[in-house]
Structure 1
């Protein structure tokens, strides 16, 4: 660490900017960053399509879902898993900026301490809003249908983006803790297991008791069930845990908890730097 960087970390610039002015500038910066290096975005957006084609056609005939075709069950689950990927991308973006010294430079500027993480998480939501459209189009081509009303479908889309926003804050906080691009990439790959421990890909009805409990209290299960419910693809499972039995309320509750915990933690961690 250079002497200049050390001085900057110990003496960050006073906060004289406003979130209203600095936030949009940071959103633009992150969108430009994604445009210049779209590798992570392409990977996270194409992986669900690959999984839809693989699971839907290779394993689809072997996976039975009572009362519906498997691909109609799978597409909302993949949308939920895509929303949960904010944990991985948020962590990688923050760790990359820390590893390359960008965070230290930002902390020397007279700007709102919340602007940098807010810009990243809002940019995540904007790119996800566009990135989920190809998955939905491929799902429609594969036989999935939106059977609920347009208002309910928009509600499902809104829940997906809200959850992406919440998980992006959690990921950004982890990235600020890790501060290493390579380590964040390795840990981000491990987050792939989270949707597997949920109802995103398979129903929880036939799981062993303890595993069903873990899966149904996984926030991704509430989001997947809410998405299926609002798209009109399936009703919530009978006898399920509260977040899955009341999936819309469960998703809103999980999102509120994640935001209430990780927004202040992230802003505080960013302001502290490496202290």
Structure 2
């Protein structure tokens, strides 16, 4: 992935809204937010410098950070451009190659890069959009799950999904598959009820690639009753193509009745 593509995926925290006053204090805070976002995104150091001669040959360097007037696209913002907070970045310790700007009237972030082959030439400004929230819940209606062997996990095969995401989360094979550019997710599970009268203790658990992550336990009873179970949200590390599933175990081999059951995954990073 190119440096520009990596920069375009940075999530800038504490982004102000259009009612935020333009002041030196607010602009300084935005500068800090941008610099912190860069430090969090890249493994190598991000250093603020004022003297280009003091830079080493490795890392990302913030050469300057100043308020300037830039000619943004009038169709996107306003005719004549607007005040922006500009950060100029060097990736090698020599010439500046990346500029990130914050437009003051809409608080949109913009990025452009220098032309490697033509000194002083820059690409067009491109808006940096924050990724939409990616969350997916998959559901299974009331029904029975076959457990052929005691204490052997049976995967719950979900029937439909409800999501507000792109291809970062994928509904596949009755579970949730991790797509591209996802490192951390929040997972949780729920069933409206397990019939305790079916006999045997029960375990509801979330697994990644059939490896147990978190579980909740329910003791069996002789009388017929339904017990709701929740798996509290937990943050986990994931990789592309990981499969997240919800499984059920029982101390008895049986067909176990479950009420409506839900598995939810939310992309955090």
TM-score (norm 2): 0.21
Structure (1/2) with the larger helix percentage? 1
Whose strand proportion is higher, 1 or 2? 2
